[in-house]
Amino acid sequence: MAALLSGLLHAAAIAVIVISAGVGTPPPAKLHSAVWVVSDLRRYLPSVPPKSHGGGGGGAGDETPATRGKLPRFAPRQFTPPVAVIRNSDPLLAMEPTLVGSPSIVPPDVNLPNYGDPAAPLGPPSGGPGRHGGIGDGDGGGVGGHTGPGYGDADGGGVTGAAGIRGSVTAPVVLFKLEPEYTEDARRARIQGTVILRIEVDTDGQARNISVRQSLGLGLDERAIDAVRQWKFRPGRQNGRPVVTVALVEVNFRLL
């Protein structure tokens, strides 16, 4: 009887060990992430009006053609047009010159101190033979040979695609990434799948304005967001300058 009882107790102990092993913690999750840029990237960048809806021109009545120089910043309204040659060094009310257009437009990078036409040749500063202020052989307070307070090869303010404002755009590149961890609820439910996040990469290379485009739930969305927020990117660039770009981040959660 004693031997039988001992055998039964031994068998029960083995059963408990087997059952405990069967409900133990699942093995670590295998995580993988990928980043790609949305195909329509340009709609998230500084906008430029279509070729037929932007541009301008002006001039100072000079005998010589307009010369090369930088453009002023763009603003919704113009109080003072740009000039290539300052003829009044002590105005009653000094105001910053501007061109009319979206403030997000980035002018071409021209390393010159004077205002002018970025597409014109170098030479002694000249406002060009145009009229009513501005620079060029046009009319209207802008820069170029057309009419209006903008810049480009059409009329009406703003800029045109042919004006060289929009350069090539490079996509953001991941320099450092931290993989997210599974939540306990997701482990127990053995949830697997992909979280897709939409992010904006700012000019400092940080992810911001993160939103979920494809969800898994059980805390995995939040874990993915927390991890991606700590990633470091090389920001996208336009005309050599960092710009805000938009990308989609795919985070795959897999249990071994």
Q: How would you write the pLDDT of the chain (256 residues) with one tens digit per residue?
A: 444 445 544 444 433 333 223 333 333 333 444 444 443 333 333 333 333 346 777 888 888 888 888 999 888 888 889 998 887 777 677 788 998 887 767 777 677 889 998 888 887 888 999 988 899 998 989 998 888 898 877 777 777 654 555 444 567 888 998 888 899 999 999 999 889 888 888 999 999 999 998 999 999 999 999 999 999 998 887 667 788 887 888 888 888 7
Helix residue spans in the chain (DSSP H): 2-22, 184-189, 220-228
Pairing of strands 237-238, 232-234: unpaired
CA dist., res. 251 & res. 248, Å (int) = 10
One-letter amino acid identity for 55?
Answer: G
Name all domains of the chain by residue range, CATH numbers in brackets. Answer: 27-45+168-255 (3.30.2420.10), 47-165 (no CATH)
Pairing of strands 207-214, 241-242: unpaired
CA dist., res. 238 & res. 250, Å (int) = 25
In degrees, to the nearest 5, what angle opens at C-alpha 236 toward C-alphas 233 and 241? 120
Cα–chain center distance at 124: 38
Instruction: Say what the pLDDT of residue 67 is.
Output: 87
Instruction: Say what the pLDDT of residue 177 is.
Output: 87
DSSP string, 1-61: -HHHHHHHHHHHHHHHHHHHHHTSPPPPEEEEEEEEE-TTGGGGSPP---GGG-BEE-B--
- Locate the DSSP E strands across the chain: 29-37, 56-57, 74-75, 99-100, 135-136, 143-144, 148-149, 169-170, 173-176, 193-201, 207-214, 232-234, 237-238, 241-242, 245-255
Backbone angles phi, psi at 152, to 5 degrees: 145, -165
pTM over 0.75: no
CA dist., res. 227 & res. 250, Å (int) = 12
Instruction: Say what the pLDDT of residue 218 is.
Output: 92
Burial class of residue 54 (count of CB atoms within 10 Å of its CB; 0-12, 13-18, 19+): buried
